Amino acid sequence: MNVQIEKTWEARLAGEFEKPYFYQLAEQVRQEYMQFPCYPPGRLIFNAFNLCPFDKVKVVIIGQDPYHEPGQAMGLSFSVPDGVVLPPSLLNIYKEIADDLGTPVSQSGNLTRWAEQGVLLLNATLTVRAHQANSHQRLGWGTFTDAAIKALSDGRDHLVFMLWGGFARSKKSLIDQQRHCVLESVHPSPLSANRGGWFGQHQFSRCNRYLEEHGEKAIEW
């Protein structure tokens, strides 16, 4: 199957593209985009992979599925285009970064700058029908993105996996914790974060410290 995805990822995930589930997934996604408004735009479905080649990944942040309102989803978990109001979860992420690292809260929700530094902003489900959260969760994307997480765990060393909330933490079994750093917390959404367990965890400084200890440049969050 001809999937338009960055070449190092294509090489690592080639086997997935030939499996029956992926053919079925691709057809279902095609039908959804033909019949309903869906996000992100088709050219951005694999944006997380295209901006962050396999061999450049340093950090993995796992989201659940894309934003489902117009103009928000851009194929990067938690990210919205410039000019879009910051979603509540992202605002809490920024507040924690500011408290942790002493940097000002960014006014832009566009996280392309993170992706280009090696942060894989991976939603477990890569598409969604407009106005319907988790509407594509059962199409088979999870099998594909689990394979990507496993490929990173097995094929790289000393990555940082940031698992926020129960859904992301359920992916921990895919990760070799002897080879990688796993940072867990509650989800940054106000529903979870305001009850405790998000703020004050110093995840971003801990992430950078681990990267530097293993010869990598810290992320400019």
Which residues are known catalytic residues?
Answer: 65
Which uninterrupted H or E stretch holds 1?
none
Cα 127 from Cα 57, distance rounded (Å): 22
Cα 47 from Cα 79, distance rounded (Å): 11
Give me the helix-helix angle, 141-155 and 7-17, nearest 10°.
120
Residue type, 123: N
Which uninterrupted H or E stretch holds 185?
strand 181-185
Q: Tokens 């090696």, residue?
A: 118
- Token pair recorded at residue 111: 């996280």
Cα 69 from Cα 209, distance rounded (Å): 36
